[in-house]
Structure 1
Amino acid sequence: MNLYLECVNDQEAYEIGEVLLGKLKQLLALAGEQEGVDSGELALSFVDDETIHQLNKEYRGMDKPTDVLSFAMTERGDDELEIHYGDMEVETVELEGLEGEELDEGTPVLAEPLGDIIISVPRAIAQAEDYGHSVEREIAFLFVHGFLHLIGYDHETEEDEKNMFAKQEQILSKAGITR
């Protein structure tokens, strides 16, 4: 399995340590295995409420902060928002005719970008207090929630919500993360 997680911490409300990052990498592997996603790169950003508020307003038209945003880099459904960063284009290149060929040593193999997950840490802290569990558990929940959005899940209907939340709990349970 070749799933990669790149993290950026742009907030000061909570220390994001190696233990938590290790747990998030484990969750990514478990979620990928459960959902049949065996390769790709995911960018995870920890931000403050002001930053997520601005992003939520700009990309979703909602003038308020939220707990997590997901921006898929590849189109997975008819109603998904396609995000482009400046002039950067993401291009898929087929390696036709290279079956069985080995790349030169040191040649980087880039994973296809799955997308970005942005978590508001102050919002995660407040929700952890409201739900009576740890901040780590809330961040883990939001991370898995964001990942499922990236691969096409949504919770627009009651049935979709039950399905998505059941998948989240299965993944968290496999990692030993409970309420």
Structure 2
Amino acid sequence: MTVKLEWTNEQEQVALPGGLGKLLDKLLAAAARQEGLESGIVSLTFIDNDAIQQLNRDYRGIDRPTDVLSFALTEMTEEDISINYDELELEEEETALDESDGELLGDILISVPKALEQSEEYGHSLERELGFLFVHGLLHLLGYDHGSEQEEKEMFAKQEHLLQQAGLSR
């Protein structure tokens, strides 16, 4: 079995870099090796600032756009899983997840306009910022957090290692 990525682009404001799918697959494979993950499915959706702000407000109580949100299914209750994508006016995902590839690990949502803004602010490519946000969200799905100084140090070291493996160092 393998770890599989299902992703969709639900925003039209910013063009995604060419070859992004291959980069995301490479990052996912590296993370799976690093974490000893043998199977599972990760769902990734690229959205705009309005959609991510709504989710950030509804699920975190913070009424502003953020760059990435992760919803790990292993940590969620039945109540938490009921994200209503219809209210966000997102298109329905055209490809159904194939459960023979393993359990759905969770959802990662990235605001592409926010990622572009941050890539310009930090002086690196949009590709690097999207890769960073994907890895950050993926590590959250796998149970990592940055609530304490020690947790942050561990999570950020893993992020940086994975980004370097994919050629996305700063």
TM-score (normalizing by structure 2): 0.85
SS, match of residue 53 in structure 2: helix
Mark the runs of 5 or more structure 1 residues left unpaired by the alignment: 76-80, 87-106
Moved over 4 A (4+): none
Give the whole-Å Cα distance in 1 for the aligned partners of 2:118 and 2:139: 20
Aligned amino acid, residue 107 of structure 2: D
Q: What is the deviation of 1:14?
A: 2.1
Which residue number in structure 1 is paired with residue 89 of structure 2?
Answer: none
**Which string of whole-angstrom CA distances, capped at 9 and with x for unpartnered residues, describes residues 74-112 of structure 1?**
13xxxxx543237xxxxxxxxxxxxxxxxxxxx972420
Aligned pair 1:2/2:6, yes or no?
no
**Which string of whole-angstrom CA distances, capped at 9 and with x for unpartnered residues, describes residues 37-84 of structure 1?**
121001000000000000011111111110000001113xxxxx5432
Aligned amino acid, residue 139 of structure 2: L
Root-mean-square deviation (Å): 1.9
Q: Which has the larger radius of gyration?
A: 1
Aligned amino acid, residue 70 of structure 2: S
Q: Do 2:67 and 2:110's aligned partners in 1 also have CA atoms closer than 8 Å?
A: yes
Which residue number in structure 1 is paired with residue 27 of structure 2?
Answer: 27
Q: Do 2:46 and 2:109's aligned partners in 1 also have CA atoms closer than 8 Å?
A: yes
Give the whole-Å Cα distance in 1 for the aligned partners of 2:117 and 2:99: 41
Aligned amino acid, residue 27 of structure 1: L
Give the whole-Å Cα distance in 1 for the aligned partners of 2:17 and 2:24: 11
Give the whole-Å Cα distance in 1 for the aligned partners of 2:63 and 2:169: 32
Q: What is the deviation of 1:143?
A: 0.1
Aligned amino acid, residue 155 of structure 2: M
Task: Kindly report which structure 2 residues correspond to 1:39-78, keeping only aligned pairs within 5 A, or say none.
Answer: 39-75=39-75
Q: Do 2:17 and 2:127's aligned partners in 1 also have CA atoms closer than 8 Å?
A: no
Which residue number in structure 1 is paired with residue 154 of structure 2?
Answer: 163
Which residue number in structure 1 is paired with residue 82 of structure 2?
Answer: 85
Aligned amino acid, residue 84 of structure 1: I
Mark the runs of 5 or more structure 2 residues left unpaired by the alignment: 84-97
Aligned length: 155
TM-score (normalizing by structure 1): 0.81
Which residue number in structure 1 is paired with residue 108 of structure 2?
Answer: 117
- Larger helix percent: 2
Give the whole-Å Cα distance in 2 for the aligned partners of 1:39 and 1:73: 15
Q: What is the deviation of 1:162?
A: 1.3
Give the whole-Å Cα distance in 1 for the aligned partners of 2:100 and 2:17: 28
Give the whole-Å Cα distance in 1 for the aligned partners of 2:29 and 2:153: 22
Q: Percent identity?
A: 54
